[in-house]
Chain A
């Protein structure tokens, strides 16, 4: 069964450093998303991406964040200068969303620890 994959599973970085989180969405999906979950809190939407551009973003997704689909398979989230409060699980998701349906499939997550 196709699945969303994410690398690395765990990333430790120093405050102020740049990190890039990588995702490979399900191959025939058109919509891509990043969510985060701070330990013990809700899953929160960050950004959605369709047709090579951002379609929606939340207040969390400020200028420190960017997304890119550098090739036909990868989808990345970059945090330019990490803060302590960026420590969280980051989940990539993808969906087909054609025909009016919207089943978003999530990857296993990258645990980001900012020291």
Chain B
């Protein structure tokens, strides 16, 4: 079983739709969870960072962590064509430690 699993997509939605992106993980030692956005041939750009179970909101983005189910989500409201990118989940055991990434979900938002 892979440590972090993420549906590769592509996920195609119309502009204005609510997008739900998800990752599951197997290692209960993961404590810190991040979502990155990556445009083609660019570096990952940090979007959201969460530590505890529950929801965290930042503008159009909401990150959700359910440690009991080992499941994290990123919701994007009012999606825009500029949101078209690959979304990577990443997690780590402790601050200062290596990140383990999911494979990324490619999102396409059509005008």
Contact = CB atoms under 8 A, between A and B. Distances in A.
Interface in B12-43: 32, 34, 36, 41-43
What DSSP secondary structure best describes chain B's contact surface?
loop
A91 B95 contact: no
Interface stretch (B56-64, B69-77, B99-107): B99-107
Interface residues of A, number: 30
A4 B99 CA distance: 17
A102 B94 contact: yes
22 contacts: A43-B99, A48-B97, A50-B96, A55-B96, A89-B41, A91-B44, A97-B95, A97-B96, A101-B95, A102-B32, A102-B94, A102-B95, A102-B97, A104-B46, A104-B99, A105-B46, A106-B36, A106-B43, A106-B44, A106-B46, A108-B42, A111-B41
